[in-house]
Amino acid sequence: MPAALMSYDEPPVLLPATVPPEFVKGGGDWLCMFNPSVRRVMDIKQQAVISHNRQVYSVGFSSDCSRVAVGVDSGVYLYDVHGSGKHKLECCDVDTGEGPSSNPVRSVAFSPDGTMLAAAADDMKIRIWQLPTCELAHTLVGHQREITSIAFTADSATIISASGDRTLRLWTLPLFSDYYSSFYSSASDGSASPEPEDLDIADVTDEIECTVLSIEADFTVAATALTSLALSPDRLYAAVGTSGGMIRIWNLQDCAPIGEWQAHDREIFTLHWGRSGLVSGGRDRKLVRWSLPSHTLHPFVAPGVDAKKTMKHEEYVLAAATAQHGRVPRAASGSRDGRLQLWDPKTGELLFCVIGHKNSVTAVDLSQDGALLVSGSGDGEVRIWSYTII
């Protein structure tokens, strides 16, 4: 078991009745409690509320921080960060034309180059839309159980997916941005290039290769479902969390497993890998920041991993995200008690807690510019928050 260097198993529980009034901010149907012990100037404002008639399962900011994708039961929506410009994405399969049945969309991801949005659902399919046209480009089929998490590699050329079927899959995709630059470049005779909106998706249906990484083949531990996925900041390594509380690391350059350790006592619900470290949250009500052996991540075993900080929650940690703007890291968490909390992952300090959702906070994300926080809930609402920490 990795050694915990420092532990914050009992952070303050911020309650309206016990927090001094000057550290409480209200906004009608929400309340924020700032930690009086934190010597920082902090503020938060609710920027938008987006209501759906179904539970929200996943949210995600685009890399340019201008848009938010939302996954609900059998649906994907795209908004701007002000909560307007609603666009429901077409989910009918490219080949069959069949629409999805009632299946939760558990993960959404924008490609780093901004040309694609992907979503994964319990129907075992990954759907990929071309941006900005929002045309459905691909439906990837291969997993044998629900897909729990997806992510793009740094070059936007590969999607990584984790599934309850105990496999991690690497899907190699055609790059729409490359296709635009080659097909829509100015003609030699000087004639105008076609507009990107005129692109026929059939022209870029290159064969998609899939590499399957199986837990049974690569690990001696008891096989368990893959419940979460996170890529390293350089996107060269993949961490997966399992229903048994294990975290496993793969090198994506050669698809070799390089490490594993028992991270939680029970199921891991969420992983996020930022510059301040790998963060995991689970059924044991803990959000943990891990220090990995080295930047290059040579093969390691459990003693080479340290639990730097443990941030205890009152309920299951269902969602987490990290961001670092300048030198200030932050980690957001959502839990089953409806609380949205922001932490300093280096110190383990709880910065503030927001109460407003009427059900579990099932999804969170932080914009990489350090300005926005988005939360999704079982109450069907997505809330977009602007915040400052000085």
pLDDT of residue 94: 56
Helix or strand run (H / E) with residue 216:
helix 215-218
pLDDT at 311 over 90: no
pLDDT of residue 302: 45
Query: What does the pLDDT look like over 9-59, one tens digit per residue?
Result: 455 678 777 888 999 998 889 999 999 998 888 999 999 999 999 999 999
8 is a domain residue: no
pLDDT at 182 over 80: no
Query: What does the pLDDT look like over 224-256, one tens digit per residue?
Result: 899 999 999 989 999 999 999 999 999 998 888
173 is a domain residue: yes
3 is a domain residue: no
9 is a domain residue: no
Domain count along the chain: 1
16 is a domain residue: no
Please give the average per-residue pLDDT across 308-313, as a whole number: 78
Query: What does the pLDDT look like over 143-169, one tens digit per residue?
Result: 999 999 999 999 999 999 999 999 999
| 3 state DSSP class of 106 | strand
pLDDT of residue 221: 52
CATH code at position 164 = 2.130.10.10
Helix or strand run (H / E) with residue 60:
strand 56-61
Q: Which residue from 366, 340, 342, 343 is spatially nearest to 355, judged by alpha carbons?
A: 340
61 is a domain residue: yes
Q: Could you tell me which residues come within 8 angstroms of residue 288 by beta carbon, excluding any fewer than 6 positions away? A: 263, 264, 279, 280, 281, 307, 309, 310, 311
Q: Which residue from 244, 199, 201 is spatially nearest to 219, judged by alpha carbons?
A: 244
pLDDT of residue 301: 47
15 is a domain residue: no
pLDDT of residue 205: 45
pTM: 0.85
pLDDT at 317 over 90: yes
Q: What is the rounded (10 degree) CA torsion for 86, 64, 104, 161? A: 150
* Structural domain containing residue 233: 21-186+194-389
14 is a domain residue: no
CA count, 13 A, side-chain hemisphere, 243: 13
Q: Could you tell me which residues come within 8 angstroms of residue 97 by beta carbon, excluding any fewer than 6 positions away? A: none
